[in-house]
Amino acid sequence: MDGPVTASVGWLVAAPLAGSVATFLLRGRRGASEAVLLLTALAAALATNGLVARIMGSGPYTVEIGSWGAPAGIEWAVDDLSAAFLAVALPVWIAATIVAHGLLHSPRSPRDARVFRKEPGPTARTFWPLWLLLWGGVNALFLSADLFNLYVALELAGLAGVALVATAGVLPALQAALRYFFANVAGSISFLTGVALVYHRYQTLDLQLLRSAAESDASTTVALALLGAGLLLKAALFPMHAWLPRAHAAAPAPVSAILSALVVKAPVYLVLRLWLDVFHVALPPSVLTFVGALGAIGIVWGSARALRVERLKSLIAYSTVAQVGLLFTAFPIVHAAGSRDARWGLVFLAVGHAVAKASMFLAAGGLARAHGHDRLDQMTGFGAREPLCTYAFGLGGMSLLGVPGTIGFSGKWLLATSGLEVWAVPWVVAVSASALLTAAYVWRVLAIAIRSAPEPAGTRPLARRIAWSAFALAVLTVALGLGSGPFVEPLP
């Protein structure tokens, strides 16, 4: 392994963690904290660029930490799957950071209490260290090549996410953070117990060694069930979703964006990695059928709730429940097809959801900032007042429902064509039906946006950087969709 590539991988974790320590010691001083954030973003951007270039040029590779390889040492591994998630994490984090900075440091009024606390000092001192800690944990998770370090990274990201939900500083956010904490701990206990059983059975936790040694026996099945149960709880798959809507709705908008885009995607990534890659020979197909059925129910339930709630952020949060259901509905198709197209269809869906949902949450945060609330019945006509946020929400919604030209369409097309080839018709129907349900709640918001109405009293202009950040992510869903063209081929 050449030095520059090794360093680029290391900086994806080291830069955010070092930035977290630095912003904590700087105690939220604006100029210094902004310098740390900028340097962290630059280091991560250079590292991500080097990592993706290496994958495209030479294929997967591993990095030995401290020159100690498996099974005694710790390794990081990078392949096309981890590179895809790491690459999408960077623009999402940068856009959310810009919005978070705008909400933290712009002038406030008492009505902003539900967006961020009134006092900017204490919030900034606690927010930035946790913010960078979460990003470092997520990057470490996508890079880790053994089960125990996956657990450590998963725990780091989860606990930082819990704390960030609480930074809103109001009672609903504190209650939601507590609920999220208990769900996170329960999932972690289940996952760690599964890790212990895997080690007892195979005497190693290295994913590459486990891939070659995995067998279909009772001990492995129990371990996979425990690993999966913990991950499904953290991913908020129906009916283990109760913590998610309140946490995402009550958190500050940039936190909601990161939770939905990255923290919820991390367990989905791990289920794909562990169930369909490392332990694929030991996984009973009935498990994927059961998980797919739960996903289909989650699509209907989450969409129904999104059509009924009265607050914009709650609508987007319940949409996440539905979209997580869609991701797990795709697992039986990927398993049955066993093809590159099906696998990339699921990856495109996950990546597309990450970018689109981040855009929608950031747009919702901007609208809440402009209006002082996010009650849909009191925001009629916001499209004329905040066109960029409206376009951001609309484009993100178009990607979720799978309009051609977006990354969401690419994912659904690959899954549908792969599913039809192996006669996985019920799952293809579920994927198609999700588009209609998504269109219903997206149109509900857009209908309110375009309806003529006098401007509500107290509405104020929104900082352009907030609106442009949300809009840029929405445009990225189209750019990714157009870039995925070589993967999407017409039916023969």
pLDDT digits 0-9 by tens, 224-262: 999 999 999 999 999 999 999 999 988 889 999 999 999
Q: Between these two residues, 384 and 469, which has the higher pLDDT value?
A: 469
Residue 421 CB contacts under 8 Å (≥ 6 apart), including other chains: 337, 339
Q: Between these two residues, 133 and 485, which has the higher pLDDT value?
A: 133
Question: In this structure, what is the dihedral angle of CA atoms 279, 284, 290, 295, given to the nearest 10 degrees?
Answer: 30
Bridge partner residues of 76 (DSSP): 63, 144
Q: Is the pLDDT of residue 291 over 90?
A: yes
Tell me which residue of 337, 294, 339 sits closest to 424, measured CA to CA. Answer: 337
Lowest mean pLDDT across 4-8, 54-58, 151-155, 277-281: 4-8
pLDDT value of position 7 = 58
Residue 53 CB contacts under 8 Å (≥ 6 apart), including other chains: none
Q: Is the pLDDT of residue 112 over 60?
A: no
CA distances from 459 to 152, 369, 393 (A): 44, 9, 19
How would residue 422 be classed by pLDDT, with cut points 50, 70 and 90?
confident
How many C-beta atoms surround the C-beta of residue 58 within 10 A? 10
Q: Residue range 249-276: average pLDDT?
A: 92
Q: Between these two residues, 110 and 356, which has the higher pLDDT value?
A: 356
How many C-beta atoms surround the C-beta of residue 315 within 10 A? 24
Instruction: Provide the 8-state DSSP code for 260.
Output: I
pLDDT value of position 472 = 94
Q: Is the pLDDT of residue 114 over 50?
A: no
What are the DSSP calls for 62-113, one per residue?
EEEETT--TTTSEEEEE-HHHHHHHHHHHHHHHHHHHHHHHHHHS---GGGG
pLDDT digit string (tens) for 118-151?
Answer: 433 336 678 899 999 999 999 999 998 889 999 9
Query: Do the Cβ atoms of 95 and 472 come closer than 8 Å?
Result: yes
Tell me which amino acid residue 184 is. N
pLDDT value of position 489 = 53
Q: Residue range 65-84: average pLDDT?
A: 74
How would residue 492 be classed by pLDDT, with cut points 50, 70 and 90?
very low
pLDDT value of position 450 = 87
Average pLDDT for the chain? 86
How would residue 28 be classed by pLDDT, with cut points 50, 70 and 90?
low
pLDDT value of position 183 = 94
Q: Residue range 56-70: average pLDDT?
A: 70
Q: Between these two residues, 359 and 338, which has the higher pLDDT value?
A: 359
Query: Do the Cβ atoms of 411 and 340 come closer than 8 Å?
Result: no
How far from the centroid of its chain's Cα atoms is residue 141's Cα? 13
Q: Is the pLDDT of residue 2 over 90?
A: no
CA distances from 368 to 11, 111, 375 (A): 35, 10, 8
Question: In this structure, what is the dihedral angle of CA atoms 470, 476, 477, 480, given to the nearest 10 degrees?
Answer: -170
Q: Is the pLDDT of residue 488 over 70?
A: no
pLDDT value of position 272 = 92
pLDDT value of position 117 = 42
How would residue 31 be classed by pLDDT, with cut points 50, 70 and 90?
confident
pLDDT value of position 364 = 92
Geometric angle at alpha carbon 287, from 431 and 199, rounded to 5°? 125
Residue 12 CB-density burial (10 A; 0-12 exposed, 13-18 middle, 19+ buried):
buried
Tell me which residue of 241, 237, 304 sits closest to 440, measured CA to CA. Answer: 304
Q: Residue range 359-380: average pLDDT?
A: 88
What are the DSSP calls for 130-175, one per residue?
HHHHHHHHHHHHHHB-BHHHHHHHHHHHHHHHHHHHHTT-SHHHHH
Distance CA 12, CA 82 (A): 12
How far from the centroid of its chain's Cα atoms is residue 84's Cα? 12
Q: Between these two residues, 446 and 488, which has the higher pLDDT value?
A: 446
pLDDT value of position 229 = 94
Query: Do the Cβ atoms of 120 and 85 come closer than 8 Å?
Result: no
How would residue 443 be classed by pLDDT, with cut points 50, 70 and 90?
very high
Q: Where are the domains of the chain?
A: 284-492
How many C-beta atoms surround the C-beta of residue 378 within 10 A? 14
Question: In this structure, what is the dihedral angle of CA atoms 367, 368, 369, 372, given to the nearest 10 degrees?
Answer: 130
Distance CA 396, CA 313 (A): 14
Q: Is the pLDDT of residue 46 over 80?
A: yes
pLDDT > 90: what percent of the chain? 47
Q: Is the pLDDT of residue 111 over 50?
A: no
Residue 60 CB contacts under 8 Å (≥ 6 apart), including other chains: 77, 78, 79, 80
Tell me which amino acid residue 150 is. L
Widest CA span in the chain? 68
Distance CA 342, CA 411 (A): 9
Distance CA 152, CA 133 (A): 13
